[in-house]
Amino acid sequence: MKPFLPTTLALLLASGSAFAQEIEVSNSWVSGGEVAGKQVVIDALKARGYDWVDFSIAGYENEQAAFMARVQAGDPPGAKMYIIGPAAAELAEMDMLVPIEEPLAASGAAGAIPAMVAEKMQLSGKPYYAPISVHGESWVFYSKPVMAEIGYDEMPSDWDGFFAMLDAAKEAGYIPVAFSGQAWQTNKVFNQILLSLLGREAYSAMLSEADEEIVMSDAFLQAVDIFDRLHGYVGEGTAGMNWNDATAQVIRDEALLQFQGDWAKGEFLAADEAAGEDYGCAVNPGMGDMLVVVDSFAFPRKEGLQDAQYALAEVLLDPEVQRQFNLLKGSFPVRTDVDMSAFDICAQIGSQKMAEGAIAADMNLVLDRVVNGQIVDLINEFWAAPYDHEDFRADYLDALTY
């Protein structure tokens, strides 16, 4: 009884796609910049004779849930937006995804993709993700007027200097750190601090190998200290506050800075603020590496759809598509051979970091979602009610090896 419905549906859909050369694409891109960027891809795909059928749901988690429901019903869409990493590993292991060696070779992207990304594109030894854009996650966005008023013209390069600056902002009556208590936000801030103290190699090794020694290092403890110390610098009502409400505090020059990913640029843009003029972007103090996430697509195995899937993969890997897409979305291209002259200063810094290899993958790209979730829970518990830092370090190790 169970296979009956999905098979019928699959047949119906397969016959449908055979006529119209359609490929249904699951994604969570619904905001202004995302939709504009998506249109670039849709147009390029159309030029190759395939129609993009949009299956978009707001919120990555919601979209993920809807996608999984369709996979479990035996009727996946033809492509699915993913953050590269282990997210689709289980599907790849079960041979439910189409590897993309051919389009990867055809696009000539192989040499232009940074090593870290190239490695994370692979699952079980084959490339499955077609990456299109990179988001720098560990930015510090700051209000230039506030910065000027408290007598700074650039971001201090070490944490002591950083806290001195926060004190100055506090004294001047500003909220030093615009902070939103959303779980993923709190998590990002901690990781950002952690990366700045561990450096990209130790940080990545700690996550991918659950390295006890690194967790037990002084640098880790120092990161916890700094994270905890931020409690004294955040505004009121941070619990449950949305990240963009916090960004708005910086935009309104009420707060000095926010730890945020580069999607915050969209908020500044919407408020008519220009990068480098009204607000600045800096990589955090410390070792200067940047956390990144990479947006990509993977392709569920589906009868008769491989041509369309290959075509979409090639489009996604195309340098010009990547340039236009990222200009609109506010991120920067995965390919390091794209002309960056039209991009803003933040994207240029990001692209530069990437070319230098000074990037580390966000823990989403490395960790299993279950472990990932354990860590997010832990960090949020700690932020809500700080306790002994060494105990926290032990708990962190437990979560990492969950």
Partner 1 sequence: MKTSPRNGPPRFRHWPAALALSPVWAIALLLFVGTAGYTVYLSFTASRMMPVNEFVGFEHYIKLFGTRRWNTSLANMGILCVTYVLGCLVLGFLLAAALDRKVRFENTLRTIFLYPQAVSFVVTGLVWQWLMNPGLGIQAAVQGWGWESFTFDWTQHRGTAIYAVAIAGLWQGAGLTMILLLAGLRGIDHSLWQAARVEGIPLWRTYVSVILPELTPAIATAATLLFMGIVRTYDLIVAMTNGGPGSATELPAKFIMDNLFDRMNIGAATAGASVMLISVMAVIVPVLYIRALRKGGRKPV
- Is the CB of 159 or the CB of 382 nearer to partner 1? 382
DSSP secondary structure of 294-342: EEEEE-B--TT-HHHHHHHHHHHH-HHHHHHHHHHHTSEES-TTS--TT
* Exposed e or buried b per residue across 319-333, where buried means at least 16 C-beta atoms within 10 angstroms of its C-beta: bebbbbbbbbbbbbb
Contact 97, 297 (CB under 8 A): no
- Is the CB of 72 or the CB of 208 nearer to partner 1? 72
Q: Report the alpha-carbon distance of residue 382 to residue 402 in Å, rounded.
A: 18
**Amino acid identity of 331?**
S
Output the smallest distance, CB 93 to partner 1, in A: 10
Interface residues with partner 1 (CB under 8 A)? 61, 64-65, 68, 71-72, 87, 90-91, 94, 181-183, 235-241, 369-370, 372-374, 377, 380-385, 402
Backbone angles phi, psi at 53, to 5 degrees: -100, 115
- Is the CB of 15 or the CB of 242 nearer to partner 1? 242
Output the smallest distance, CB 123 to partner 1, in A: 13
**Amino acid identity of 355?**
A
Listed residue (226, 308, 261) closest to 53, CA to CA: 308
Output the smallest distance, CB 65 to partner 1, in A: 4
Output the smallest distance, CB 266 to partner 1, in A: 22
- Is the CB of 239 or the CB of 342 nearer to partner 1? 239
Q: Report the alpha-carbon distance of residue 322 to residue 319 in Å, rounded.
A: 5
- Is the CB of 144 or the CB of 229 nearer to partner 1? 229
Neighbours of 240 (CB within 10 A): 9
- Is the CB of 115 or the CB of 385 nearer to partner 1? 385
Residues whose CB falls within 8 Å of the CB of residue 141, separated by 6 or more in sequence, listed in order: 247, 250, 257, 258, 260, 264, 265, 268, 279, 280, 281
Element of type H or E holding 380? helix 369-384
- What's the sign of the alpha-carbon dihedral 116, 120, 126, 132? negative
- Is the CB of 229 or the CB of 369 nearer to partner 1? 369
